[in-house]
Amino acid sequence: MVFDADASLYVGGSFDNAGGTAAGHVARWDGISWHPLGAGTDGSVLALSMGQDGLLYAGGYFTIAGGMVVNRIASWDGTSWYPLGTGVYGFVNALAAGIDGSVYAAGNFLYAGGVLAHLVARWDGGAWHALGTGLGESPYPSYVSELAINTAGELWAAGSFGTAGGKPSTYVAVWSPTAMSWFLPVIRRRVDH
């Protein structure tokens, strides 16, 4: 779920209605009632994010949004759904809006808009970009489950992956858009005196 600038709440999931109103896997709550977002999507919505551009971004298992082919990720402008290039080939589990206006998508995919982008990619408003060599295999099925951006604009990713930018990683990695590379975070323990 995510709020917009007007404090409306957007939710996504595996539902066909919200409060008795037909809503294809995504809906908006204005504080009084539920509203559909057009025809919604044809499959589950797993992630939502509000972009710096004021658009709502949705990712998940769907291939259609508002009657358009979008391939698992789309944007909503308050009236209509739009594809982000040719979408991704897999599924989107997590989204994060960058402070530079980019939108980051992650999940279980190898390609975003035809660009080889292991598990995570950046949408700049017109094209998809890989984040270095991306995130790699783990002993289990590989995917990213969470994304977050800190005040420095660094993208934190967590999930089931064993490498980040070709370096061994234990399920957490950080992408620096300034250095254009992945690094492993230093986890500090808090010591109470």
The 3-state secondary structure of 95-121, one letter per residue: EEECCCCCEEEEEEEEEECCEECCCEE
Q: Is residue 190 part of a domain?
A: no
| Residue 153 within a domain | yes
Residue 189 lies in a domain: no
144 Cβ contact list (under 8 Å, min separation 6): 93, 94, 106, 107, 108, 119, 120, 135, 157, 158, 159, 161
For 142, the domain range is 2-183
Average pLDDT estimate for 47-63: 97
DSSP 3-state of 54: coil
pLDDT for the residue numbered 190: 63
Assign residue 106 the CATH number of its domain.
2.130.10.10
Handedness of CA 17, 23, 28, 34 (dihedral sign): negative
Read off the pLDDT of residues 77-123 as tens digits, 9 standing for 90 and up. Answer: 999 999 999 999 999 999 999 989 999 999 999 999 999 999 999 99
- Give a yes or no: residue 188 inside a domain: no
Asked whether residue 191 is assigned to any structural domain, the reply reads: no
Query: For residue 186, is pLDDT > 60?
Result: yes
For the four alpha carbons of 183, 61, 74 and 109, in that order, the dihedral sign comes to positive
- Does 193 reside within a domain? no
Number of domains in the chain: 1
pLDDT tens digits for range 133-156: 999 876 667 999 999 999 999 999
Q: Indicate whether 162 belongs to any domain.
A: yes
pTM for this predicted structure: 0.93
pLDDT for residue 188 is more than 70? no
Q: What is the pLDDT of residue 153?
A: 93
12 inside domain: yes
Task: Please report, for the chain, how many H helices and E strands are present, in that order.
Answer: 0, 23
Long-range pairs for 120-127 at CB < 8 Å and ≥24 separation? 120/144, 120/147, 120/155, 120/157, 120/175, 121/88, 122/98, 123/73, 123/84, 123/85, 125/53, 125/101, 127/85
